[in-house]
Structure 1
Amino acid sequence: MASPYRCPNCKTNKSRFNIIQQTAYPVKMDPFSGEVLQQLSNDALEPFHMPYRGPEYRIQCGTCGNIEDERTFLAFGSMKSQ
């Protein structure tokens, strides 16, 4: 997060952002009630339960509210303004 951001939607915001830290908790749920039956460990997942591989951070523009992957904001932040 030591690189500049710029919103890919409104294209003007370069300073107001919300950093959303994502934390995944693997669980086993009842398919009918939706009740959580068991919270699993990332180290010992059951067969057919894939670990979370998404981004650690998502960014929300503090001006227009757009939420994207951090890489998108970084890519637009490194581009020269037109």
Structure 2
Amino acid sequence: MSTPYKCPNCKTNRSRFNIVQQVSQAVKLDPHSGDIVREYQENELEPFHLPYNGPDYRVQCGACGLIEDERTFIKFGEQPR
């Protein structure tokens, strides 16, 4: 997070951002009610339950509200003013 950001949507914001931390929770749901039947720890997933492999956090523009992967904001931040 030591690189400049720029919002790809509003194209003006370079300073106001929210860092959104993502914490995954592996669960098994009842297919009819949607209730949680079981919560899994990271090392006890069932064979057909893949572990979460997405980013640990995402970035939200503090001006327009766009939420994207950090790489998107970094790429636009590399562009000259």
Report if TM-score (shorter chain) is over 0.5: yes
Shift of 1:80: 1.3
Q: In the alignment, is residue 32 of structure 1 matched against residue 23 of structure 2?
A: no
Shift of 1:43: 1.3
The gaps in structure 2 that reach 5 residues or longer are none
Shift of 1:54: 1.0
Q: Percent identity?
A: 59
- Provide the alpha-carbon RMSD of the alignment: 0.8
- Opposite residue 61 of structure 1, the aligned amino acid is C
- Distance in structure 1 (CA, Å) of the matches to 2:72 and 2:42: 27
Number of residue equivalences: 81
The 3-state SS of whatever aligns with 1:59 is strand
Partner residue of 1:76? 76
- Opposite residue 26 of structure 1, the aligned amino acid is A
Q: TM-score, normalised by structure 1?
A: 0.93
Q: TM-score, normalised by structure 2?
A: 0.94
The runs of 4+ residues in structure 1 deviating greater than 3 Å are none
The gaps in structure 1 that reach 5 residues or longer are none
